[in-house]
Structure 1
Amino acid sequence: MTAWTVFAKEWIDALRDRRTLAVVLLSSVLMGPLVLVALSSLLASFESRAERREVVLAGAESAPTLVNYIARQGFTVKPAPADYEAQLKRAELGDPVLVIPQDFEAALKSGDLPRLLLVSDSANKRAEAGAGRLQRLVAGFNRERATLALALRGVSVELLESARVDERDLASPQTRGTQITGMLPFFVLMAVLYGALNAALDSTAGERERGSLEPLLMNPAAPLAIVLGKWAAVTAVALLIALLSCFSFIPAQWLLRGDALAALFQFGVHEALWFLAVIAPFAAALAALLMAVAIRCRSVKEAQASTAVLGLGVSLLPLFGLLNPGAEERWHFWVPALAQNTLMTRVLKGEALGAEALGVSLLVCLLMTLAGIVFVARVLRRAAVR
């Protein structure tokens, strides 16, 4: 009964702090959808540029043969501006420039090898993305010229090919979609972190700073019951933020630009519910750990500095999978945050979570929760005795 009373009081206080709650909602719930919309706009711009099928040539008048080949591939040739190098550096020009020498046609007729120059800027991502397209066009032109030359001499082109390669992609559409949706677990983890952080600091260090912790301990209630009530309230706030974060990605799909991106982005109610099931034990453990760190601090500012290391770990551990994109290791599921990120990625891929992986991550979260609650209860018991 005491724990329930403390829970109700802390829950009402957390919801009453509307300014902090609004900041948390904006930063954790809306950040993921906003990033997705921004990413979709970037990819849509690349798609629209690819659909325009335009190439920029400098000295096109010197290579009518090459211009003819490019036109037959469905591309439109645009002349390069005089200051194309400066425009590429300033990112004003979004296409790489193929520079053609004046003696291009003469070199082709004499059997020499003309030298083309592909000018781009690696810092200009739009131009860099089109460099491969130009290289493929030149490679296709070379193959066509070689084929015609061999055909005139009665030589079969197949004699130049020792083997042919056919490709088969084993990845399912859901797995390919994780190239886009792979960032969602990270945003959910951050939402849980920031959702639990303010509530945990306010219910521990905030109580000390306001001087309301000592009167609370004077009540004839067991410190463990008080801790359980506070912990349940912090966990509930974290789960509320996680719930809103997970389901915010569903309407965010309506704002995605580009049919290809929308087809790859497959995230529905089923995935959102599995995300909540995976993240709920971690939210409980994180709430207990944040309270354990903050309970020894005398002010919220001091607690924020003390919990910075814990927040840094939660934000960096999921990035391990991005920096080391290899096969999953069994020890991943023993590492908090990394385990949840790996499991949520499995959900996005449509793979089975696995009883062992779920059990290990649940066990680790349970041990962390118990350790945090017991530690906070001991600290409060000592404070009550004093």
Structure 2
Amino acid sequence: MKPKFLVVFLKELTDNLRDRRAMVLLLFMVLLYPVMYGFLLNSLITRAGKPEREGIELVVIGGAQAPTLMAQLKQKNVIIRESGPMTEQAVTDLLHEHTVVAVLKLDKHFAEHYQAMRPARVELWFDSASENNAKQRELEDVLRDYSSGIASGRLLAHGVSPTTGLPIKVQRYDTGTNASRSATFLGALLGMLFLPVFICCMSCAVDSTAGERERRSLEVLLAQPASALELVVGKWLAASTLSLVGVTLELVLTHAVLRWLPLEELGMSWRLSGLDLALLCLVTIPLALLAAGLQVALAMNAKSFKEAQSTLSFVTLLPMVPAMAVPMLGLTTASWMYLVPVLSNLTLLRELAKGQDVGWLPFAMTFFSALLLALLSVAVASRRMQSERYVLSV
């Protein structure tokens, strides 16, 4: 004979799986984030390599006065278009067409000032509202290098070492790995991966509590030879199953997308292994149990189906709090973070993505902290179901 809570579990799970529209909507929510995540990163990778592939379109006015500068620009894959004198309005209109990255204007007295060793003015016109910020910075770097080269040559011509103006030389060493940079960059976005934990179980939690009470099927269920705890546990496990399947599918898809994308072009990498992913999914089980238990308990305290939906819609925003708070507050990884549900899962994911050996303690803290709160939620819901006030919607 099957345990009574298992009978309730199978009944609630079957009822929810029969609702094809709800299942399709949940599947869409699960697939949406990995697809958007992959599309965003792929766009960043494409834009990062775009200047090298396409070159930089530059309009130059008076370029004949500085042949060495023109040669240096061409060496940096800058496509030069010579032009005659242009008014300010003409330059502005040209840049607003977004056909060129910038316009370089050399003063008409550039050659005279250059020969007299006076500052020769160069104007760089660009549109900061365009999507060519990376190309603009490359042009500025070329002009800066050209100016530094001229200054060094003039100092040498006068018997002065160019290093005289540099009494201190700073040598920078970056010990950050590609994995640590990627975890820092992707950290805020990764927090949204746990959103399906609260979304996928919401319809089941509301329908099996407030929905049954409004349909007047709750009295029939309570008349069966099953305790309130067995009824609550069955409903809780059904909602938890949907939650766990949703978040596991999203984690696996996101992992596959990040492994497939060439993150090395952005100076990043994804170090999460298959074993790390399996352990992460394992410690996410109590989080799914907590989300379902919390939503079942809150839905049972609502007086109507609509009130339950409104209340639980705020609960689904809980995963967004640590995802936004940690980057904004600049918090570093600490042991107490593994005791806070959702934040513990996010912190564990970030540390694993860095390739860090976190040990067994963070996994245990993440697992049992959420599990204890989940059991507490079920106990509260079970006590609520035993009350006549719940059955009578009081």
Q: Same fold (TM over 0.5)?
A: yes
Contact (CA 8 Å) 1:247, 1:269: kept in 2 or not?
Answer: no
Q: How does 1:210-225 map to 2 (within 5 A)?
A: 210-225=215-230
Counterpart among 30, 36, 39 of residue 37 in structure 1: 39
Contact (CA 8 Å) 1:57, 1:79: kept in 2 or not?
Answer: yes
Counterpart among 340, 352, 362 of residue 357 in structure 1: 362
1:243 corresponds in structure 2 to 248
Distance 1:357 1:89 in 2: 54
1:171 corresponds in structure 2 to 176
SS of 2:108's equivalent in the other structure is coil
Counterpart among 74, 92, 114 of residue 85 in structure 1: 92
Which digits, 9 at most, give the CA deviation of each residue in 1:48-74, with x for residues without a partner?
223334252442535434222222344
Q: Structure 2 length as normaliser, TM-score?
A: 0.86
Q: Which moved more, 1:366-375 or 1:60-69?
A: 60-69
Distance 2:349 2:330 in 1: 15
**1:238 Cα deviation after fit:** 0.8
Distance 1:273 1:94 in 2: 49
Structure 1 pair 289/385, CA: closer, same or farther in 2 (3 Å)? closer
**1:135 Cα deviation after fit:** 1.9
Distance 1:87 1:206 in 2: 63
1:66 corresponds in structure 2 to 69
Q: How does 1:283-294 map to 2 (within 5 A)?
A: 283-294=288-299
Structure 1 pair 93/216, CA: closer, same or farther in 2 (3 Å)? farther
Residue 368, structure 1, aligned to residue 370, structure 2: no
Contact (CA 8 Å) 1:7, 1:229: kept in 2 or not?
Answer: yes
2:48 corresponds in structure 1 to 46
Contact (CA 8 Å) 1:205, 1:295: kept in 2 or not?
Answer: yes
AA of the residue aligned to 1:173: N
Structure 1 pair 46/94, CA: closer, same or farther in 2 (3 Å)? farther
Which digits, 9 at most, give the CA deviation of each residue in 1:284-309, with x for residues without a partner?
11111111111122443321211232
2:114 corresponds in structure 1 to 108
Structure 1 pair 354/171, CA: closer, same or farther in 2 (3 Å)? same
Contact (CA 8 Å) 2:297, 2:377: kept in 1 or not?
Answer: yes
Structure 1 pair 153/175, CA: closer, same or farther in 2 (3 Å)? same
Contact (CA 8 Å) 2:192, 2:323: kept in 1 or not?
Answer: no
Percent of aligned pairs with the same amino acid:
25
Residue 2, structure 1, aligned to residue 8, structure 2: no
AA of the residue aligned to 1:104: F
SS of 1:171's equivalent in the other structure is coil
Contact (CA 8 Å) 1:65, 1:105: kept in 2 or not?
Answer: no
Which digits, 9 at most, give the CA deviation of each residue in 1:307-334, with x for residues without a partner?
2322223222222222233422344333
**1:355 Cα deviation after fit:** 4.3
Structure 1 pair 219/322, CA: closer, same or farther in 2 (3 Å)? same
AA of the residue aligned to 1:110: A
AA of the residue aligned to 1:228: V
Q: Which moved more, 1:351-360 or 1:240-249?
A: 351-360
Structure 1 pair 219/330, CA: closer, same or farther in 2 (3 Å)? same
SS of 2:200's equivalent in the other structure is helix
Counterpart among 326, 349, 363 of residue 321 in structure 1: 326
2:155 corresponds in structure 1 to 150
Distance 2:18 2:366 in 1: 33
Gaps of 5+ in 1: none
Structure 1 pair 74/96, CA: closer, same or farther in 2 (3 Å)? closer
Distance 1:75 1:385 in 2: 76
AA of the residue aligned to 2:115: K
Contact (CA 8 Å) 1:195, 1:237: kept in 2 or not?
Answer: yes
1:132 corresponds in structure 2 to 137
**1:152 Cα deviation after fit:** 1.6
2:386 corresponds in structure 1 to 381
2:311 corresponds in structure 1 to 306
Contact (CA 8 Å) 1:93, 1:127: kept in 2 or not?
Answer: no
Structure 1 pair 339/72, CA: closer, same or farther in 2 (3 Å)? same
Contact (CA 8 Å) 1:54, 1:78: kept in 2 or not?
Answer: no
AA of the residue aligned to 2:116: S
2:21 corresponds in structure 1 to 19
**1:371 Cα deviation after fit:** 2.1
Gaps of 5+ in 2: none
Distance 2:93 2:211 in 1: 56
Distance 2:338 2:125 in 1: 47
Q: C-alpha root-mean-square deviation of aligned residues, in Å?
A: 2.9
1:192 corresponds in structure 2 to 197
Structure 1 pair 238/66, CA: closer, same or farther in 2 (3 Å)? same
SS of 1:372's equivalent in the other structure is helix
SS of 2:58's equivalent in the other structure is strand
Distance 1:94 1:378 in 2: 70
**1:270 Cα deviation after fit:** 2.9
SS of 1:283's equivalent in the other structure is helix
Structure 1 pair 174/274, CA: closer, same or farther in 2 (3 Å)? farther
